[in-house]
Homo-oligomer: A and B are copies of this chain.
Amino acid sequence: MKVELLSIGDELLIGQVVNTNAAYLAQALNKIGLEVSYVSVCADTKEAIIEALTTAHSRANLLLVTGGLGPTKDDVTKESLCAFYDDRLEENPEVLAHIEFLFATYIQTPIRPANRTQALLPTKAEVLKNEVGTASAMWFTHKGVHAVFMPGVPREMQHLMESQVLARLKSMSSLIIRHRTLMTYGLGESAIAERIEAIEEQLPPELSLSYLPNFGRVRLRLTAKDRSEALVAHGLAHYGDLIAAQLSDIYFGEEEDGNLAAQVLKAAKRSNMTIASCESCTGGSIASAFTEIAGASAVFAAALVPYQTHQKSALLGIDVALIENHSVVSAPVAEAMALNTRLKTGASIAVSTTGNAGPSKGDSDEPIGTVFIGISTEAHTYAQKFMFGNLRERVIEKASLKALEMLYREIVK
């Protein structure tokens, strides 16, 4: 089974929108044993769509296409399909009734002629009703190639996949694909490769290993593909554990168990601890990372974001003299932020950040990129200094990740 994804849309070709649909589809297909060989993006023109369909039909036997099914003039996918499949549009009464129902019930504005045209559908396609929107999905089977066309709005596409498409595709696959991604910190990919060379050489043919470096962390992804569930499960467990043991000093968890914030929450829950954060330069992004995770409220108590300098005194009672003597970006201020937050919230552990994310220096003389991260527990309170470069969003992201890493180390020790 050769599978391709095609996204139609100028917004992707000009970089206005990032192609998250492709990532969602690839993950969903992997889970039912289908591998994607190509992802493509083409323009919103008839010529581009027909050219992309021609190329994809020559390479694949399953094609999932998203985008270009809206009611406005810039959406030309349906007429391109008619040209490509030598078909014509015909009004589908059931779809028209559904669109009228959606307008009457949810949208509560009068239905427009443009919306009625969404019920015009190619006659050779099987129509998949879109319960949550007005653009139907279409399934063509042509010269042995299955091609499923879905709207590009992520929520509608995902609903169609989960309610109808995936169940039908599942029967087309007999392969099992599973990934296991080990997360490490503090060592480069070539140094890691050297340490696990002997294990990598032993990997059986159903397993492959990839290195994913970013932000000074390397993730090691083991992928297992086979028809046997037992072989796949054994391979990931056995070789993953071998690698984790070989890298025990730099290995800190599995990506499939959730990101670093999720692992911190789990570790804290096991230790019966609660967490609070006090964020100046990270501006709430640590709290945000925790609270995205379902069930966070069992562990994550609260956050304070005393962003302007004087708020550190107003919200946390930090001595103005301490800030004046050491500057707001300093270890003593980071320590006071963590300590006062822990005491104020009653959490078992608190983390704090204060730094210059740039582009201008703010209320301190430290160079841009300087961040102090503080930790306070009942046993001790300390702060560490870091330099995270001079790109604002990267400083915030790196400081948040490092704060999570320091929390994790403190909680598991």
Binding site for B on A (CB under 8 A): 10-20, 22-28, 30, 35-44, 48, 51-52, 55, 59, 70-74, 107, 109, 112, 114-115, 153-155, 179, 181, 187-191, 193-194, 200, 208-214, 221, 223, 274, 279, 281-288, 290-292, 294-297, 300-308, 311, 314-315, 344-346, 358-360, 362, 392-394, 396
Contacts and interface: CB of A to CB of B under 8 A. Distances in A.
Contact of A314 (B42, B52, B155, B345): B345
A45 to B, nearest CB: 10
Contacts of A179: 14, 16
Contacts of A211: 70, 72, 74
Contacts of A308: 274, 297, 300-302
A37 B13 contact: yes
A10 B284 contact: no
A14 B73 CA distance: 33
Given A284-B291, A287-B305, 17 more contacts: A13-B26, A13-B37, A14-B223, A15-B23, A15-B28, A15-B30, A38-B41, A38-B42, A74-B209, A109-B191, A153-B213, A283-B291, A283-B296, A283-B303, A285-B291, A301-B307, A301-B308
A320 to B, nearest CB: 15
A302 to B, nearest CB: 4
Contacts of A26: 12-15
B193 A114 contact: yes
Contact of A18 (B10, B11, B23, B181): B23
Interface of A is mostly: mixed
A210 B45 CA distance: 12
Contact of A315 (B115, B304, B392): B304
13 contacts: A15-B24, A15-B25, A15-B28, A18-B23, A73-B200, A109-B187, A114-B193, A287-B307, A292-B396, A297-B307, A301-B308, A301-B311, A314-B345
Nearest to A215: B155
Given A37-B13, A40-B40, A73-B200, A291 B304 contact: no
Contacts of A200: 73
A288 B288 contact: yes
Given A300-B307, A307-B296, A16 B72 contact: no
A304 B223 CA distance: 42
Contacts of A10: 210, 223
